[in-house]
Amino acid sequence: MTLTGKNAIITGSTSGIGLAIARTLAQQGCNIMLNGMGEKSMIDGLVSEFPKTYNNKTVYSGADMSKPAEIKQMVTDCAAQLGSIDILVNNAGIQFTAPTEEFPDDKWDAIIAINLSASFHSTKAAIPIMRKQNFGRIINIASVHGLVASTHKAAYVAAKHGIVGLTKVVALETAETNITVNAICPAWVHTPLVQKQIEDKAKEQNISIEEATAKLLGEKQPNKRFVKPENIAALIIFLCGENGNAMTGEILTIDGGWTAQ
């Protein structure tokens, strides 16, 4: 199965993992709806760049992933502007770390909303369209923290465990259709979210950024190398293609040996 002409939404796709996924899907012939934050000039640049580079159609939704009505409208707009929604990649996420007893209520609410509830709302809106066209691929970007825990990440770990559960439920509900639903659980990827944790660790322990990076990787990830966004994107291409059509409800790790311990 070729992905040429398929239409994909990738949330949180104006930078980092999401942008790498959007570029890889576009390289495979997909039309793209980008979503995420950033300066208007940067976003306009991406919307202009993609068609020139990949010979596809690219549009943008500024939907706020904490607002269900905007998420539903994003899905509706994708179907209207691109013609369908064939691939949904739920990638948007935020992070905050603190001991549970000190964790701000508003940070908890925001992380649950964007890292978990947003995926529910986008999936809920996309499934009727996918059922009608008898095709759909939903990929949720969870985390190794959807399978194991770390201290000071109550909201993030709870949200990512929730994504794993949501993936399984929707996979079962769509199992007899040509819709598949899977989750990918990466370990450390060198994104702005992770860079912030490295900088915080360096400041707390009065060590260099290089030392903090080595400590971050060494504490959890046996191969001591960051996962590349392109690794995640390549797995998504497989899941969207013909050879991935029997895989649904799968929770796939790319974690450098983290969960093997």
Taking only the tens of pLDDT, the chain with its 261 residues reads 579 999 999 999 999 999 999 999 999 999 999 999 999 999 999 999 999 999 999 999 999 999 999 999 999 999 999 999 999 999 999 999 999 999 999 999 999 999 999 999 999 999 999 999 999 999 999 999 999 999 999 999 999 999 999 999 999 999 999 999 999 999 999 888 788 889 998 999 999 999 999 999 999 999 999 999 999 999 999 999 999 999 999 999 999 999 999
CA–CA distance, 51 with 73 (Å, rounded to integer): 23
* Residue 56, token pair as written in the block: 């596809």
- Compute how many other C-beta atoms are within 10 angstroms of the C-beta atom of residue 236: 25
Determine contact, residues 33/78, Cβ cutoff 8 Å: yes
Same domain, 143 and 166: yes
Same domain, 113 and 209: no
Within a domain: residue 50?
Answer: yes
Beta strands in the chain (DSSP E): 7-10, 31-35, 58-61, 87-90, 136-141, 179-186, 251-254
Q: With CA atoms as reference, report the closest residue to 135 among 125, 143, 127.
A: 127
Number of domains the chain contains: 2
Within a domain: residue 261?
Answer: no
CA–CA distance, 72 with 40 (Å, rounded to integer): 22
Determine contact, residues 18/10, Cβ cutoff 8 Å: yes
* Residue 49, token pair as written in the block: 């760049």
3-class secondary structure, 111: helix
Within a domain: residue 260?
Answer: no
- Mark residue 256 as left, alpha or beta (left: phi above 0; alpha: psi -120 to 50; beta: remaining): left
* Residue 62, token pair as written in the block: 């500024």
Distance from the Cα of residue 114 to its chain's centroid: 11
The residue range of the domain holding 63 is 7-187+228-255
Phi, psi of 174, deg, nearest 5: -115, 15
Same domain, 207 and 87: no
The DSSP element (H or E) to which 220 belongs, if any, is helix 209-220
Within a domain: residue 248?
Answer: yes
3-class secondary structure, 189: strand
Q: Mind telling me the catalytic residues?
A: 156
Same domain, 222 and 111: no
Same domain, 42 and 116: yes
- Compute how many other C-beta atoms are within 10 angstroms of the C-beta atom of residue 45: 12
